[in-house]
């Protein structure tokens, strides 16, 4: 919705077998594309840390942004506006144990894109946990 523009994110947390653990979509304000991707990774980390049964489990956070994944995985820190969020993500990843952030192409995340689009079409923020 423009760059920068009013944005929302949509994410799906899955276990190693692909089972959906949680879906969420939320409003994150007016940001550029890189900040949106970084904030989405941060939100996924926050959700994982908030659930004691997920702490210490092997978690892979998948993003379709090569730039955001690179910055989060210690290949720089983006611009000044990204620094604190990236450090927060790195801290959460350390707290989570054997967790990592990986890149996968946009074609692989159609559910996440649908959730983000629903938010931009006027839906409310949502957070739905499945049985863990």
How many angstroms separate the Cα of 14 from the Cα of each of 22, 23, 79? 7, 9, 30
- The CATH code that applies to domain 5-124 is 3.30.420.10
Lowest-confidence range among 11-15, 35-39, 100-104?
Answer: 11-15
SS3 string, 46-62, reads: HHHHHCCCCCCCCCEEE
Q: Tell me which residue of 36, 38, 28, 46 sits closest to 86, measured CA to CA.
A: 38
Complete DSSP assignment for 75-110: S---SGGGHHHHHHHHHHHHHHSS-EEEE--GGG-H
Say yes or no to pLDDT of 95 above 80: yes
Measure the CA–CA gap between 34 and 51, rounded to whole angstroms.
Answer: 27
Query: What pLDDT, on the 0 to 100 scale, is given for residue 1?
Result: 46
Assign 105 a pLDDT band (cuts: 50, 70, 90). confident
Query: What pLDDT, on the 0 to 100 scale, is given for residue 70?
Result: 92
Question: Given the structure tokens 């550029």, which residue do they identify?
Answer: 32
Output the six-digit token pair for 22.
């949680």
Q: Tell me which residue of 76, 75, 73 sits closest to 90, measured CA to CA.
A: 73
- For the full predicted model, state whether its pTM sits above 0.75: yes
């Amino acid at each position: 919705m423009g760059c920068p523009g009013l944005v929302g994110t949509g994410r799906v947390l899955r276990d190693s077998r692909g089972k959906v653990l949680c879906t969420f979509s939320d409003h994150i304000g007016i940001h550029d594309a890189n900040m949106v991707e970084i904030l989405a990774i941060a939100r996924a980390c926050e959700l994982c840390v908030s659930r004691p049964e997920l702490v210490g489990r092997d978690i892979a956070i998948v993003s379709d942004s090569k730039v955001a994944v690179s910055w989060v995985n210690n290949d720089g820190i983006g611009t000044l506006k990204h620094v604190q969020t990236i450090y927060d993500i790195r801290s959460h990843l350390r707290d989570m144990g054997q967790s990592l952030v990986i890149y996968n192409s946009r074609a692989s995340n159609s559910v996440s894109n649908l959730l983000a689009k629903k938010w931009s079409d006027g839906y409310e923020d949502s957070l739905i946990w499945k049985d863990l």
